[in-house]
Amino acid sequence: MQEKIIRDKILEYMTLENVFKIVNDNIFPLLNEEEKDFCHELQEFCIELHPKIDKNKDVYVLFPELGKRGYIQRINLWRDFKPYGMKAEVLLATHLSCLDSQLELARLASGILCGNPTFQHGETEEIFKVQNELMEGKKIGCIGITERDRGSDAVNILSTCRKSEDKSHVIYNAEKIFTTNGPKADYFATYAVYNTANPRGTMVQAMVSRDFKGELITNRLKIPYVPRVHIAHTIMNEVEIPIEYILGDNGKGYTNLFDGLVPERLGIMGSGLGICWATLAYAIIYSNLREQFGRKIIDFQGVGFSLADLLARTSAATTLAFQAASEYDKNILFAEHPSKEAEKWIAGISSQGKYLVSNLSADLTYTVQQQMGGISVTDNTDVQELSSTSYIEEVIGGARNIQLLIIQNALRRIGKIL
Ligand SMILES: Cc1cc2nc3c(=O)[nH]c(=O)nc-3n(C[C@H](O)[C@H](O)[C@H](O)COP(=O)(O)OP(=O)(O)OC[C@H]3O[C@@H](n4cnc5c(N)ncnc54)[C@H](O)[C@@H]3O)c2cc1C
């Protein structure tokens, strides 16, 4: 804290412990005993780590702490860390956002965007080694989809690749932007195509190591909203990827890309929910203690009604996220034969939910700042950092309009069945 202006008699109550008390009151009725135990475990971890976080340092110094507890991701079973599955992942993301929303952003990029493909498509010893290093938090991962001229239009990738003559390597010439974790990353889950005229049929998904032969440059972009996360302009010139690191060859990369977007979006819902609950809880605590005109500010309808409205919307969004995650676990992740119907529903709901929650987190943090007043834009509380991160959550994983485009496409198909 650069300069403390908040009164101690308020600050002493603005704790993560109290945030979790408010969260538990609202989410525990939606959870079973195993899930509640997992929340208690996460809360203990977060409360212990919170005072040790140095906000002058990048988030990456904290990765090994997450790795020790199996908190780099929880969709897939890694070692014997349980519970696992999408519901566990949403709970993990929610808690880590309350702890440190920038750490959560970087964790999601490394653990889910880069890590999840190692579980879903990894078959070689080399990929399992990458997986262990990422999950231990000892190495950092990222994903390279977005290019300078291909943002929302992620299919029509312009980065190219070719096979070496002896077919032992795929050689990448790629340029990517907005690579979250890129400047610090050891591994890059990166997409390129053999033929730009046929991206769907020739897309490749590869796990690129910084150590591979060729030139791999990562120049850091300045993104003031999340100063403790490094985001790159990534350039790969003649990078030689051994075939053991190819996760999806010759068109399989395309299906892997789209299969990966669903867990990514459900995971982002968890991160967004954490931002909503932490911000709201701090606002509830603060407004119950801060006095103006001789009254607690929560007593003024302008403040109290607004927080009540945000609580109702956050509870609704939480129910949606939990339900979507449970359905994903039941019908896709743990199902012997996932049905096409379930896959379609989950794909649709992941876009609806990602749109709704990330939009709510940006709206909620903005509104809370209006209700809390000046203190909330200083570094005296976590609210400003939560607010800044919420703006990024709305862009990553497909910007707001792209979620709406996907939802609109589903609506347009109704015309065909009438
Ligand atoms: C901080 C940050 C971190 C990111 N991290 C990663 C990462 O780790 N890896 C990665 O690959 N990418 C990452 N991204 C990229 C992110 O996914 C893209 O920014 C996003 O997909 C949008 O692409 P764009 O910015 O090029 O916008 P554009 O695609 O150029 O879109 C510009 C505007 O037009 C709208 N638009 C475009 N097409 C349509 C349409 N058909 N209908 C309606 N509206 C449309 C968009 O919604 C947007 O408002 C990150 C971005 C940011 C800002």
Beta bridge partners of 241: 170
CB atoms within 10 A of CB 49: 18
Local confidence band at 108 (pLDDT 50, 70, 90 cut-offs) = very high
pTM for this model (two decimals): 0.97
Cα 232 to ligand 1 centre (Å): 15
Task: Indicate which atom in ligand 1 lies nearest the CA of residue 113.
Answer: 8
Judge whether 272 and 386 are in contact, CB under 8 Å: no
**Of all atoms in ligand 1, which is nearest to the CA of residue 397?**
17
Domain assignment present for 117? no
Q: Is position 366 within any domain?
A: no
- Per the rule left: phi > 0, alpha: psi between -120 and 50, beta: everything else, 401 is alpha
Say whether the peptide bond before residue 83 is cis (omega within 30 degrees of 0).
yes
pLDDT band at 290 (very low <50, low <70, confident <90, very high): very high
What integer pLDDT is reported at residue 177 of this predicted model? Answer: 98
Contacts with 124 (C-beta within 8 Å, 6 or more apart), sequence order: 244, 245
How many angstroms separate the CA atoms of 326 and 266, rounded? Answer: 11
- The DSSP annotation for 23-54 comes to HHHHHGGGS-HHHHHHHHHHHHHHHHHGGG--
Amino acid at 349: I
Rg of the chain in Å (alpha carbons): 22
For residue 194, the domain's CATH number is 2.40.110.10
Give the count of domains, the chain.
1
Instruction: Give pLDDT, residue 50.
Output: 96
Q: Is residue 74, in this structure, part of any structural domain at all?
A: no
How far apart, in whole angstroms, are the C-alpha atoms of residue 121 and residue 198? 22
**pLDDT tens for residues 321-344?**
999 999 999 999 999 998 888 888
pLDDT value at 304 more than 90? yes
Separation of 355 CA from ligand 1 center, angstroms? 13
241-278 per-position pLDDT tens digit: 999 999 999 999 999 999 899 999 999 999 999 999 99
Mutate to test the pocket of ligand 1, among 152, 190, 258, 268 (most ligand atoms within 8 A of CB): 152
Q: What is the pLDDT of residues 47-88, one digit of tens each?
A: 999 999 999 999 999 999 999 999 999 999 999 999 999 999
For the beta carbon of residue 416, count every other beta carbon within 10 angstroms. 6
End-to-end CA distance of the chain: 60
Q: How many CB atoms lie within 10 A of CB 69?
A: 14
Structure tokens at 292: 């103006």
Ligand 1 centroid to Cα of residue 399, in Å, is 5
Please give the share of the chain, as a percent, with pLDDT higher than 90. Answer: 94
Q: Going by C-beta distance under 8 Å and a sequence separation of 6 or more, which residues neighbour residue 159?
A: 144, 147, 172, 173, 174, 175, 176, 190, 191, 192, 193, 236
Testing ligand 1's pocket by substitution, the residue of 396, 403, 404, 406 carrying the most ligand atoms inside 8 A of its CB is 396
Domain residues for 151?
Answer: 141-250
Token duo for residue 99: 């702890």
Evaluate whether residue 376 is within a structural domain.
Answer: no
Atom 23 of ligand 1, residue of closest alpha carbon: 151
Question: CB under 6 Å to ligand 1: residues?
Answer: 109, 142-146, 151-152, 178-180, 223, 231, 392, 395-396, 398-399, 401-402, 405
Q: Whose CA is nearest to atom 30 of ligand 1?
A: 151
Instruction: State yes or no: pLDDT of 227 exceeds 90.
Output: yes
Residue 34 belongs to some domain of the structure: no
Burial (CB count <10 Å: 0-12, 13-18, 19+), residue 224: exposed
Answer yes or no: are the C-beta atoms of 315 and 323 closer than 8 Å.
Answer: no
d(CA 88, CA 92): 6
Ligand 1 midpoint to CA 174 (Å): 18
With cut-offs at 50, 70 and 90, classify the pLDDT of residue 363: very high
The reply to whether 37 falls in a domain is no
**Residue 410 forms part of a structural domain:** no
Indicate the top mutation candidate among 395, 404, 412 to test ligand 1's pocket, ranked by most ligand atoms within 8 A of CB. 395
> CA-CA distance, 7 to 362, in Å (whole number)?
27
Give the span between the Cα atoms of 232 and 218, in whole angstroms: 6
Q: What is the mean pLDDT of the chain?
A: 96
* C-alpha to C-alpha distance for 239 and 204, rounded to whole angstroms: 14
In a domain, 145, yes or no: yes
